[in-house]
């Protein structure tokens, strides 16, 4: 394969930084027109970021514009680090988050669409910073790498390797044979759904500022809110919460299926095996949790019945159960109630949901539903093979045989995922967290979820963690967002060999 083409890598990172800086310029007016002191810090951050990007792009011209697989992996990981180290500048230069560990944590949490925060008083945070937080979600949701693929042909650079490294899930279904057209269609869907949710939330009673921020955070399955109480602030407005539930489900669905649905081919959606498990799984778990809320709340947990604000206890129990189950499964992380205060069994259910994730090809994080389906099918086939050792019985998914190599890859992914979770939990206890909080934080950060259990429950945040723990959680969020292998492969000696 030869040596790495660092000029094309730097050139790509330059494009990434320039686009990141442009979003900072969009954030600037929100502070400037509200006479906020943070405005000039945001503007300066944008200028610095665009300058860095321009220098990287301009001084690394090269005739060899082909991207090999090695460059693809390196560009995606370094691209995310470029986003992080430039994306934290608005926090640092504006003084909104002066501590470096906090700024890195909040920034990676944004781009990785985790939604874990160190900010205690979100209501008192400037509008420019709040918009920038939501923008980091929106940029990271589909991946600025995919966005850049859409314009790479203008620069004479091909991008299939980048798409395969960046696209979430075990496979990258394409809407069109040309990868650039796929990227454009993905972003058209992403932008359209964001504006649709913004419009509906505004009509339902949100301010236009809150509506655009929550729309960006929902479609990216991020979870940063403009309210300290998150979506619980709107517990008296059920319509707003149902709108967010709908778009969380859509955001956690494979975007290829969303494309088919928008084209009127709804039957293709319900023909998808993964979507059926994902959608009906959410409804089934919601029913269990709603029953637990209604009839089995532990009085020792000192809570009232899930805020029966408008339509009574039954509707309230169903709505809060559906919202929180959807929020955790899609790894969005919005909160309407504290599930750790409902019932110990309910807390156990939600902890198990930390390891599910949404659909492959969506903006959600986590293990992904399709991996669980294939692992379960493969496990059941092992029983058949025990009785019929000479039989060749392939794993079938969506009516087709699954390549054994894909099955092995999925099993490897899950083993490594669980191994990292265990090691991360032990590490966080060493860094000062109690056992329950360490389990919750490691599962939540690795799965890009946000709220967890213990001292990082849905009504708490991550501010109390030590700086070392914040850096470690930031690393977990990064490798979780890029699905482990994309980052971890860089730590292997054979990646850097010239063979």
- Cα gap 66→72, rounded to integer Å: 10
The whole-number pLDDT of residue 150 equals: 53
- By residue count, the chain amounts to 499
Over its length of 499 residues, how does the chain's per-residue pLDDT go in tens digits? Answer: 457 778 888 988 999 999 999 999 999 999 999 888 999 999 999 999 999 999 999 888 777 767 777 887 888 889 899 999 999 999 999 999 999 999 999 999 999 999 999 998 899 999 999 999 999 999 998 775 565 555 445 444 455 555 556 555 555 555 555 666 777 788 889 999 999 999 999 999 999 999 999 999 999 999 999 999 999 999 889 999 999 999 999 999 988 888 888 888 888 888 889 999 999 999 999 999 999 988 877 655 545 444 555 567 888 889 999 999 999 999 999 999 899 888 889 999 999 999 999 988 888 888 999 899 999 999 888 888 888 777 778 888 888 888 888 888 889 999 999 999 999 999 999 999 999 999 999 999 999 999 999 999 998 899 999 999 999 999 999 999 888 888 888 888 888 877 6
The total of other beta-carbon atoms located within 10 Å of residue 384's CB is 11
3-state secondary structure of 364: coil
The total of other beta-carbon atoms located within 10 Å of residue 155's CB is 14
Contact between 445 and 473 (Cβ < 8 Å): yes
- Cα gap 3→11, rounded to integer Å: 17
- Cα gap 218→251, rounded to integer Å: 7
Residue 482 Cα distances to 92, 209, 261, 344, 476, angstroms:
25, 30, 27, 32, 10
Query: Pseudo-torsion of CA 386, 391, 394, 399, nearest 10°?
Result: -110
The whole-number pLDDT of residue 302 equals: 45
Q: Check the CA dihedral 471-142-31-240 and report its sign.
A: negative
- Cα gap 151→145, rounded to integer Å: 10
The whole-number pLDDT of residue 493 equals: 87
- Cα gap 23→11, rounded to integer Å: 19
Residue 304 Cα distances to 45, 336, 401, 455, angstroms:
45, 14, 50, 20
- Cα gap 317→322, rounded to integer Å: 8
The total of other beta-carbon atoms located within 10 Å of residue 356's CB is 23
- Which tokens belong to 80? 């995310």
The total of other beta-carbon atoms located within 10 Å of residue 494's CB is 7
The whole-number pLDDT of residue 75 equals: 85
- Cα gap 279→308, rounded to integer Å: 26
Q: What's CA 36's distance to the chain center, in Å? A: 30
The whole-number pLDDT of residue 326 equals: 97
Contact between 114 and 444 (Cβ < 8 Å): yes
- Cα gap 185→279, rounded to integer Å: 24
**Helices 6-32 & 127-142 angle (0-180, nearest 10):** 150
**Helices 404-430 & 435-446 angle (0-180, nearest 10):** 140
Per-residue pLDDT tens for 244-258? 999 999 999 988 888
Contact between 482 and 366 (Cβ < 8 Å): no
Contact between 323 and 244 (Cβ < 8 Å): yes
The whole-number pLDDT of residue 1 equals: 46
Bridge partners (DSSP) listed for residue 396: 401
Burial class of residue 45 (count of CB atoms within 10 Å of its CB; 0-12, 13-18, 19+): buried
Largest CA distance in the chain: 75
296's enclosing H/E stretch is: none
Contact between 441 and 473 (Cβ < 8 Å): yes
């Amino acid at each position: 394969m030869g040596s790495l083409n660092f000029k094309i890598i730097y050139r790509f990172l330059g494009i990434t930084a320039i686009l990141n800086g442009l979003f900072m310029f969009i954030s600037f007016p929100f502070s400037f027109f509200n006479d906020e002191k943070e405005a000039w810090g945001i503007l300066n951050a944008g200028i610095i970021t665009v300058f860095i990007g321009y220098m990287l792009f301009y001084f690394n011209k090269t005739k060899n514009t082909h991207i090999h697989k090695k460059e693809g992996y390196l560009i995606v990981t370094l691209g995310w680090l470029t986003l992080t180290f430039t994306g934290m500048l608005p926090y640092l230069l504006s003084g909104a988050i002066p501590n470096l560990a906090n700024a890195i944590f909040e920034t990676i949490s944004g781009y990785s669409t985790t939604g874990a925060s160190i900010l205690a008083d979100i209501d008192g945070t400037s509008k420019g910073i709040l918009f920038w937080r939501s923008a980091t979600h929106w940029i990271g949701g589909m991946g600025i790498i995919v966005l850049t693929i859409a314009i790479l042909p203008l620069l004479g650079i091909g991008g299939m390797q980048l798409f395969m490294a960046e696209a979430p899930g075990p496979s990258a279904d394409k809407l069109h044979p040309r990868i650039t057209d796929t990227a454009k269609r993905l972003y058209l869907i992403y932008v359209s759904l964001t504006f649709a949710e913004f419009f509906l939330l505004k009509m339902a009673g949100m301010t236009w500022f809150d509506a655009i921020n929550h729309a960006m955070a929902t479609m990216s399955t991020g979870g940063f809110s403009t309210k300290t109480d998150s979506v619980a602030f709107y517990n008296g407005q059920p319509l707003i919460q149902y709108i967010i539930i709908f778009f969380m489900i859509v955001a956690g669905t494979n975007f290829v299926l969303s494309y088919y649905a928008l084209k009127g081919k709804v039957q293709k959606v319900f023909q998808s095996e993964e979507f059926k498990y994902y959608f009906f799984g959410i409804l089934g778990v919601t029913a269990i949790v709603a029953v637990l809320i209604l009839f089995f709340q532990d009085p020792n947990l000192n809570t009232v019945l899930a805020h029966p604000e408008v339509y009574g206890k039954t509707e309230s129990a169903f709505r809060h159960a559906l919202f929180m189950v959807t929020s955790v499964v899609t790894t969005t992380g919005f909160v309407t109630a504290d599930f750790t205060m409902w019932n110990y069994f309910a807390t156990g259910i939600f902890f198990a949901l930390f390891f599910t994730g949404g659909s492959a090809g969506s903006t959600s994080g986590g293990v992904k539903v399709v991996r669980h389906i294939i692992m379960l099918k493969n496990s059941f086939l092992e029983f058949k093979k025990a009785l019929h050792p000479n039989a060749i019985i392939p794993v079938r998914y969506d009516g087709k045989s699954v390549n054994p190599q894909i099955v092995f890859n999925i099993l490897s992914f899950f083993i490594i995922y669980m191994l990292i979770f265990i090691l991360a939990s032990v590490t966080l206890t060493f860094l000062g967290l109690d056992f329950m909080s360490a389990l919750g934080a490691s599962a939540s950060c690795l799965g890009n979820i946000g709220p967890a259990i213990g001292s990082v429950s849905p009504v708490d945040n991550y501010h109390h963690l030590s700086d070392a723990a914040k850096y470690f959680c930031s690393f977990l969020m990064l490798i979780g967002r890029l699905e482990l292998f994309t980052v971890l492969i860089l730590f292997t000696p054979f990646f850097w060999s010239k063979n």
